[in-house]
Chains A and B, each alone.
Chain A
Amino acid sequence: MQADFLDRYSRLDSPVHRLPAGGKLTVAVSLMVLTVALPPGRAMALGAVAALLAVTAAASRIPWRFLLRRMLWLEPFVVGVALLSLLQPGGGRVFLLLVAKSSLCLLAMLLLANTTPFAELLRVLRTLRVPALLLTTLGLMYRYLFVLVDEAQRMRRARASRTFVERRRWTWWTTATVIGQLFVRASERAERIYAAMCARGWS
């Protein structure tokens, strides 16, 4: 399986990983809300949030390079939207503030995702009375996400091995065929999963 890039380190063992999931979720979300709601001109507070996150990251034993690479991967989206704020009077300060707040929230989210298995988060959500149908959907999505991403990769490889050449005129149609086939296979898999769920006593 190649597609474990999302939360590769969520099953490590460290003091941060051993903390209860509910507590981590509460702290992370309130930290992010606080960061976003912070009025401009409180650089000290932003610095404190950054220091707290840095200590957590060090304690979690997640490789720095992984966190940095994921941050850099997502940063273009942040900067892209933030560029729009430069087009108004006094936009420079707004731009810097937006990028700083957003990057801190990104880091907080990456730390949460990589120190807490997703199933644990779903368990917390269940105690918060989130509807079962939504939790089943989220759980199945997480479980089969990696399977379907791998399946898409296999179809691409199969197509490449049949000497498919990336020609402009046909690329869109072949990509559409792969996506369409992926949906047909996903729907057939859903049927098999339902039979398996019933066999294990799901109701």
Chain B
Amino acid sequence: MHIPDGFVDPATATVTGVLAAAGLAGAVRHAQRHLPPARVPLLGLSAAFVFAAQMLNFPVLGGTSGHLIGGVLTAALLGPSAAVIVISAVLIVQCFLFADGGVTALGANIFNMALVGAASGWAVFELLRRLAPSLTWRVVSAGVAAWASTVLASIACAGELAASGTAAWSAVLGAMAGVHVLIGVGEGLITALVLAAIAKVRPELVGGTALQQRGFDVVMPTGAPSAGAGAVAHAASAGNRESAKSLVLYGLLISAGLALFVAPFASPWPDGLDRTAQTLGFEDKAREPAMPAPIPDYRMPGIPSEGLATAVAGVAGTAAVFALAWMAARALAPRGRVASSGAPR
């Protein structure tokens, strides 16, 4: 999924560059404040680990071979901010040393794989794993999240290629999402298997000690508890205590990116209600709304290009929905919890 140079146009490169820089800066800021100094080397070593793990191929159907991508694996082990830094570092080194992924496309690649891939994959993982407290379920959740993150990242990638005029949206979406629905199955399976393998020797790295009895025949480490295991467990617990601010930042950046690059290509056909209205002939009755809408038909007025108008409308809509949800959350949540999750720790 590494986009080479020349495939994203200057406008797309600039926008994704800004989004990626903002996300990475947020992650670094969060880590500088909350990651203990003793865990700093773990970030570099995890990045080297992801790079090395990507070189271990395993056979897939039909004589081809695949490799781990590692976004959700890193996020499940270290937390989302650390994962954003680790995956970005991998992409930067791959770009500058290996020429894998272009310099002008570095922003797009970091946005797709570190922000959409790791951060939103982590969100899916967090939602799923809360459904049941067992270690087995945690491993399965990570696998499902890895599938979802692979597909999401490929859709974001397709949107950027189409917005750049490199390929037609219908072709690029079908090719990217179609292939990555399958690649994602492999990624999900290998993510789950790797977590299961780590859980066998160091259950505390994967699920915390309270969960280790269920699902796996746990082999306890012999001798003194490993210092390295402590480091990861600590980093992960720091990740689970992510301040709400950094998560809000990733969510906003990802939604803005998807609104800009994917929303303009969403289906041009009328949705179910509009279609019914046309069929039954009451479409005309909707002509005069009781109150004029600020952004009619999801197109920002006053912008000549249709795609750009939809994109700007998408960003404006995202911001408006976010502001409403934020105010609703502040009004509805118990006072004490808002204060403790909003204040920097």
Mark A residues whose CB is within 8 Å of B.
6-7, 29, 32-33, 35-37, 70, 74, 77-78, 81-82, 84-85, 87-88, 91, 94, 97-98, 101-102, 105-106, 109-110, 112-113, 118, 121, 131, 133-134, 136-145, 147-149, 151-152, 156, 166, 168, 171-173, 175-191, 193-194, 197, 203
Say whether A141 contacts B58, CB under 8 Å: no
CB distance from A96 to the nearest CB of B (A): 11
Question: Contact partner of B161 among A29, A81, A152, A186, CB < 8 A?
Answer: A81
Residue among A82, A134, A168 with the highest chain B CB neighbour number at 10 A: A134
Q: Rank and list the top 3 A-B pairs by shortest CB-CB distance, nearest first.
A: A140-B44, A188-B228, A180-B197
Q: With A88-B171, A180-B194 given, is the CB distance from A144 to B45 under 8 Å?
A: yes
Q: Knowing A118-B97, A133-B31, A133-B40 touch, does A171 contact B166 (C-beta < 8 A)?
A: no
Main secondary structure of the interface of A (DSSP, over half): helix
Do A98 and B166 touch across chains, with their CB atoms under 8 A apart? yes
Complex Cα–Cα for A21 and B329 (A)? 50
Q: How far is the CA of A84 from the CA of B174 in the complex (A)?
A: 10
| Cβ contacts under 8 Å, B68 to chain A | 179
Interface status of B28 (Cβ within 8 A of chain A): yes
Of B46, B51, B77, B227, which is within 8 A of A188 by CB? B227
Interface residues on B, range: 35 or more
Is B3 at the interface (CB under 8 A from chain A)?
A: yes
Please, which residue of chain A has its CB at the minimum distance from the CB of B40? A136
Give which listed residue, B32, B42, B167, contacts A87 with CB less than 8 A. B167
Contacting A172 at CB < 8 Å: which of B7, B41, B190, B232?
B190
Q: Does B129 contact A (CB under 8 A)?
A: no
Q: B89 at the A/B interface (Cβ < 8 Å)? A: yes
Chain B residue nearest to A74 in the complex (CB) = B99
CA distance A136 to B43 in the complex (A): 9
Instruction: Give CA–CA (A156, B57) in the complex, Å.
Output: 11
A47 smallest CB distance to B (angstroms): 16
The reply on B104 being an interface residue by CB < 8 A is yes
Contact: B227 with A87, CB < 8 Å? no
With beta carbons under 8 angstroms apart, the residue of B24, B25, B44, B200 that contacts A136 is B44
**Which residue of chain A has its CB nearest to the CB of B52?**
A148
Q: Which of A113, A139, A176 meets B99, CB within 8 Å?
A: A113
A181 to B53, CA, bound (A): 11
In the bound complex, do residue B194 and residue A179 qualify as a contact, i.e. CB atoms below 8 Å apart?
Answer: yes
> Which residues of chain B have C-beta atoms less than 8 A from A182's C-beta?
49, 52-53
Q: Is the CB of A141 within 8 A of B227?
A: no
Q: Contact between B231 and A144 (Cβ–Cβ < 8 Å)?
A: no
Q: What is the CB-to-nearest-CB distance from B193 to chain A, in angstroms, rounded to a whole number?
A: 3
Contact with A along B229-249 (1 / 0, CB 8 A): 111100000000000000000
| Nearest-CB residue, chain A, relative to B53 | A179
Return chain B residues, CB-CB under 8 Å to A78.
Answer: 4
Tell me whether A184 and B32 are in contact in the complex, defined as CB-CB below 8 angstroms, given that A77-B2, A191-B227 are known contacts: no
**Minimum C-beta distance from B275 to chain A (A):** 28
Which residue from A35, A91, A180 sits with its C-beta under 8 Å from B201? Answer: A180
Indicate whether B135 reaches chain A with its CB closer than 8 angstroms: no
Contacts of B166 in A (CB 8 A): 81, 84-85, 94, 98
Q: B13: nearest residue on chain A (CB-CB)?
A: A36
**Nearest CB on A from B58, distance (A):** 4
Q: Given A85-B166, A144-B45, A176-B197, A152 and B99 touching (CB < 8 A)?
A: no
Docked complex Cα distance between A191 and B103 (Å): 33
> Quick check: B197 and A177 within 8 Å, CB to CB?
yes
